Structure 1
Amino acid sequence: MPTSARLSRELESRLAAYCAQHGVSKTEVIERGLELLLELDDETGKHPAFVAYQRIAARLRPEPKRRRSPSSSDAMRRALRAKYSG
């Protein structure tokens, strides 16, 4: 069944170069890519490459800082104690 897609110039250029280098058609490359993507989705991310990617990506995201610095926490505690102690 015919399908069309708009690709950026860069992506189309890379696709054409890949096809020329490997002696395959653009259709074949796109079909292989879609099959791989759908297979990964069907297997709920169990593909070894995807699992490795998730492990690496998890380490690249910085954890949000939720705690205040000790000095500001101590100052807040002292202020609250002074206000409500007596």
Structure 2
Amino acid sequence: MRQTETRECWVDALPVTLQQFLKLADIVSSGGEAKWRIGEGEVRVNGAVELRRSRKLQAGDQVAVDGIAHVLLVSIGAAPEGVEDEPLDD
């Protein structure tokens, strides 16, 4: 069994869509890849398979890709000191 990596991803505005989040967190390299992974059922939100690219995420939601690769936490507000805050791109 592989270990799950946990990372925090800071955004400065909510809600953020699942597809935006996957790109922002560098889980996927493109919107097309995000669409494909979501459509194939490879993405879970709070433990449940999510098939909607437009699913709105809120602070504290957990997103897992492939169930083992990453678990990311959505947090609102400025990133803590020493953590680079990335802009939210559409």
What TM-score do you get using the length of structure 1 for normalisation? Answer: 0.26
Compare relative contact order (CA 8 Å, sep 6+) and give the higher one, 1 or 2: 2
Asked which structure has the greater CA Rg, the reply is 1
The answer to which structure has the higher helix fraction is: 1
Structure showing the higher strand proportion among its residues: 2
